[in-house]
Chains A and B, each alone.
Chain A
Amino acid sequence: MNAPLRRAGVVILVLFGLLFANLNWVQAYKADKYRNSSYNGRVIVAQYDRPRGGIEAGGIALAKNTLTDDTLKYLRVYPKNEIYAPVVGYRPVNLGAVGIENAENDFLSGESDTLFADRVKDMFTGNNTGGGNVVLSLSTKAQETAWKELTNNERGVTKGAAVAIDPRTGAIQALVSMPSYNPNPLVSHDTKAAAAAYQKLLKDDSQPLLNRATQETEPPGSTFKVIDSAAALANGYKPDSQIPAGSTYKESGAVIHNAEDEACPGGDTVTIKDALTQSCNTGFARLGVKLGRDTIVNMAKAWGFEDDKLTLGNLKENKGLPVAASRTGDMSNPDGSVDKAALAQSSIGQREVRMTPVQGALMAATVANGGKQMRPYLVQKLLGPDRRTIYTADPQVLRTPVSGSVASDLSDMMVSVVENGTGKKARIKGFTVGGKTGTAQNAAGADPHGWFIGFAYDSKGQAVSAVCVMLENVPGGHASAEAARIAGLIMKAAAGEGD
């Protein structure tokens, strides 16, 4: 009986050998996959084991942690609720993160390569020193003024956005989207409650989760005339060159009227400067057709239209809040030739022209900064867990659409808009303000959108702020006036004045 007993022993050996081989498969070969599997609850527990870095601006905490008693050790808290949500975003337990929380996730969580030394130190000291801190370029004063003024606007408008940029650096001073949302319920450790809160926001018709400043493209209306003016000045026109205008302009079946408050002064011709000051539709429509489709489209591109790669984050990496591309749209007939009717309408920012508020602010900033468009950014500094500086934003020129002299002429013309023309509501005491209004038809029967893009120089001639305010479907006429008023207050706050 011993031979079969020995064989039974061999069978057991083989079975245990199989177990051992399979254990190697599970614990060595597949280990990494299993360790990082989305089914693996440890992944999340480990992420919450270490305090996530804070997000702050102007010394005020925008995202921080509180210690909890549950398995996830730290709860993310956003003390300013909805005001900074479009920028800061949120990082939930189960859902995807957005905003700076998403863009700078590696740094905030401490997994970034730049924090490798901190992790090694932790290994020896046994501490969990946490992730790095992100300091935003936002001016809390400008951001909170923008939020307050947008939400308390005089026309009862419920949707809109505002962006303010430092023209000299590209640092974003304010970025507000209305309506916004409270990110705190979304990061609840009760994942069911968090998912329910998210679903509720998702089903909301006013789209509070949509970042209107970066993601929404709307017809820019007359603000687009800045592009036309730049194209004219770059092609030999002077601010006082006379261009044909008139009360109506018929082009290939399209009829261009002048708006109620945007009548052309004088008779059949007008200077470009006056045309911009009074926002003369017929003048700019004719000018656009005269300059030609390619000139207008290329000039728009030179100012940042069609750019679908722009992100607002740090300047080192191309990750951040994505900015939707602004578009000039198609102005061609089916056979490829120029559709002059479309060109005429596009030249006054209608038809298929679409712009984001960020793009509007960038245009104003470029004019104020002598034709140099600085790459916009939100991350001013990255600080290690011990608050040593790891990164400081080093401003970069993104593009130079026009020469300094063209920019200077444009600036004068835009200052005239605020001082003598349609943008008077944007005036600030003690500052030289320039800008351009826009009243954009968007849908049949709907109230027009009100736009204002502009900039402010302080008493020393420094360009302190450039801004874009967009209000959707403004009732009661003079849609751009309310936008101009809010823009002025934001720039004042960004310059460090006002309450």
Chain B
Amino acid sequence: MKTHRNAELGLLAFAMILVAIYAATVEANQFNTIHPTFWIPAALLLTLFIGLHFVVRFTAPYADPVLLPAVALINGLGVSFLRRLDIARAIANKKPTPGWFEGTSGHQLEWTLAALILAAVLLLVVRDHKVVSRYAYTLGLVGIVLVMVPAVLPSSLSEVNGAKLWIKLGAFSIQPGEFAKLALVSFFAYYLVRKREVLSLASRRFLGIDFPRGRDLGPVVTVWLLSLLVLVFEKDLGTALLYFGLFVVTLYVATERASWLIIGLVLFFGGVYVAYLLGAAVGGPFQNFYDRASIWLDPFAQANYNKPIGGSYQLVQGLLALGTGGLFGSGPGAGSPGLVPAVRTDFIFAGMGEEIGLFGLSALLVCYLLIVERGLRAALNVRDSFGKLVAGGLAFTLGLQVFVILGGITGLIPLTGQTTPFLSAGGSSLMANWLLVAMLLRISNAARGPANSGGSSDRPGGGPKKQPTQLHGAPTEVFKP
């Protein structure tokens, strides 16, 4: 069986060449000349990614060869765009050009290193993804705690731009929700693998659809309430949508019953609608959500645009940046991303969109799509149910997150504060998403490798090998038509 590791290496090199070209264009537009050192960030990134590539080569030789280069390309372009912003800021302030490890892009480079180390550690320690299921309840607890912490903390320690999603510790702040995704997916997968029989078989038929019994609804309702709490207390629709979508999809995949999807969608949109009405009527904790919805409905209205807090200013500026870019964009380094608020984080896609245009953004979308679909393919091909649910859940969540933030920026759905995976400045998001990719790499290795690979049979360090087998080792229903 071929490992395709050399293909991965070649694609990585190609991705970094694109990043270097991007950096060269930025310098040409910002300095009117290309410095002979333009390739250094791309080379640094290449070194880092090759490091991870070797970890993959030795610990997950059969892993999907497209995942790593696709993610590396997005990550590299993110670093380059942030460097472009740093350069523009330095020029505007008459400061010398920032060094390779200074400014937002320098930090992002350092975060990339940290994220890659975490991903490598995960690949090195977790030689068989099934091992994770052993810590499912612990992870579930950790996940819920991570989600709830910002809601419980006072606003001064948790609120950024109206969304309570953070834990701020002095100069350092992390978004625990990013990591919670990973923990929750593992827990959901484990829970559903154990409960799927009862959830999928016991049912009542109504209107031609099999509905579950009332007592089996418990966990769904719990997660629904949890995500609504997030919506109300963390003031963030996107995160709520993410958690709930994650759960409903894993539930649907596990049980293969459309009724769960229907119940999930009705509950979610019903909840959102009620929250909107409550926001209009009573305000209070629902006010933020109501404001965001009205901004989304008419961003260009004077009243919304001029509102000093919670107005549509940043949404409108993002749209104007995208529109100004048009089909081809102004070229990297030639736009005015400085006019878009939060262009380093939430609005990075709009800032880049002005410079790379519809064509560039479409290519970026295709990259994301590639990552998600490759993740789903790993889920299809992996033999165990737990792996299927984890890979499917993670890949779907990643796709959903991209949809939520890009849909928000482009005015498709109400805007919510989400990071753009691998692109936005910020360590939490980068590390969590690289861990997600490492998990997908691990599972795709099991999916594409020989039946007995994946380490569970010959790993002495993976603990007693009986337990995972006993739980869900049997290859069930894999090739069901």
Q: Contact residues of A with B, CB < 8 Å?
A: 1-9, 11-13, 15-16, 18-20, 22-24, 26-28, 30-35, 37, 39-42, 45, 69, 71
Contacts and interface: CB of A to CB of B under 8 A. Distances in A.
B376 A41 contact: no
22 contacts: A3-B480, A4-B256, A5-B376, A8-B252, A9-B373, A12-B373, A19-B406, A19-B412, A22-B411, A26-B411, A27-B322, A27-B326, A27-B353, A28-B358, A30-B319, A32-B323, A33-B323, A37-B320, A39-B316, A41-B336, A42-B324, A69-B94
A496 B275 CA distance: 80
Instruction: Across the A-B interface, give the 10 residue pairs with the lowest CB-CB distance, nearest first.
Output: A34-B323, A27-B358, A12-B399, A31-B326, A15-B403, A40-B320, A22-B412, A4-B253, A9-B376, A31-B323
B239 interface: no
Contact of B410 (A7, A16, A22, A37): A22
Interface stretch (B17-25, B72-80, B133-141, B364-372): B364-372
A20 B327 CA distance: 12
B361 interface: yes
Q: How large is the interface on B (under 10, 10 to 19, 20 to 34, 35 or more residues)?
A: 35 or more
Given A5-B392, A8-B252, A23 B362 contact: yes
Interface string B148-189: 000000000000000000000000000000000000000000
B358 A23 contact: yes
Interface in B257-288: none
A40 B380 CA distance: 47
A19 B388 contact: no
Select the residue from B92, B253, B407 with max chain A CB neighbours within 10 A: B253
Nearest to A6: B380
Given A2-B478, A27-B357, A12 B320 contact: no
User: A-side binding surface: helix, strand, loop or mixed?
Assistant: helix
B365 A16 contact: yes
A378 B408 CA distance: 53
A12 B256 CA distance: 17
B396 interface: yes
Contacts of B369: 12-13, 16
Contacts of B396: 8, 11-12
Contacts of B403: 12, 15-16, 18-19
B325 interface: yes
Interface in B318-369: 319-320, 322-327, 336, 339, 353, 357-358, 361-362, 365, 368-369
Nearest to A71: B92
B64 to A, nearest CB: 15
Contacts of B379: 5
Contact of B477 (A1, A24, A28, A41): A1
A1 B361 contact: no
B249 interface: yes
Interface string B190-225: 000000000000000000000000000000000000
Contact of A24 (B358, B373, B411): B358
A7 B305 CA distance: 39
B436 interface: no
A5 B380 contact: yes
A28 B365 contact: no
B16 interface: no
B317 interface: yes
Nearest to B369: A16
A30 to B, nearest CB: 6
A5 B319 contact: no
Contacts of B424: none
B361 A23 contact: yes
B254 interface: yes
A27 B327 contact: yes
Interface of B: 92, 94, 249, 252-254, 256, 300, 305, 316-317, 319-320, 322-327, 336, 339, 353, 357-358, 361-362, 365, 368-369, 372-373, 376, 379-380, 385, 388-389, 392, 395-396, 399-400, 402-403, 406-407, 410-412, 477-480
B316 A35 contact: no
Given A5-B379, A23-B362, A34 B324 contact: yes
Given A15-B403, A24-B358, A2 B480 contact: yes
Contacts of A1: 253-254, 256, 385, 388-389, 392, 477, 480
User: B-side binding surface: helix, strand, loop or mixed?
Assistant: helix
Contacts of A15: 399-400, 403, 407
B406 A34 contact: no
Contacts of B316: 39
Select the residue from A22, A24, A45 with max chain B CB neighbours within 10 A: A22
A12 B396 CA distance: 7
Contacts of A41: 336, 339
Nearest to A16: B369
A27 B305 contact: no
Given A19-B412, A20-B365, A27-B361, A42 B339 contact: yes
Nearest to A14: B403
Contacts of B400: 12, 15
Contacts of A42: 320, 324, 336, 339
Contact of B322 (A5, A7, A23): A23
Contacts of A20: 362, 365
Contacts of B362: 20, 23
A16 B399 contact: yes
Contact of A28 (B254, B327, B385): B327
Contacts of B325: 27, 31
Contacts of B477: 1-2
Given A22-B407, A42-B336, A34 B399 contact: no
Contacts of B327: 27-28, 31
A19 B410 CA distance: 8
Given A18-B403, A23-B353, 16 more contacts: A3-B480, A4-B256, A12-B373, A16-B368, A19-B403, A19-B406, A19-B410, A27-B323, A30-B319, A31-B327, A34-B323, A35-B326, A37-B323, A39-B300, A39-B305, A40-B324
A16 to B, nearest CB: 5
Contacts of B389: 1
A437 B407 CA distance: 74
A20 B358 CA distance: 9
A26 B253 contact: no
A418 B323 CA distance: 67
Contacts of A45: 336
Contacts of A22: 407, 410-412
B380 A2 contact: yes
A15 to B, nearest CB: 4
B185 to A, nearest CB: 13
Contacts of B92: 71
A45 B330 CA distance: 14
A73 B400 CA distance: 43
B238 to A, nearest CB: 14
Contacts of A30: 319, 323
Nearest to A34: B323
A48 B348 CA distance: 26
B253 A8 contact: yes
Nearest to A3: B256
Contacts of A8: 249, 252-253, 376, 392, 396
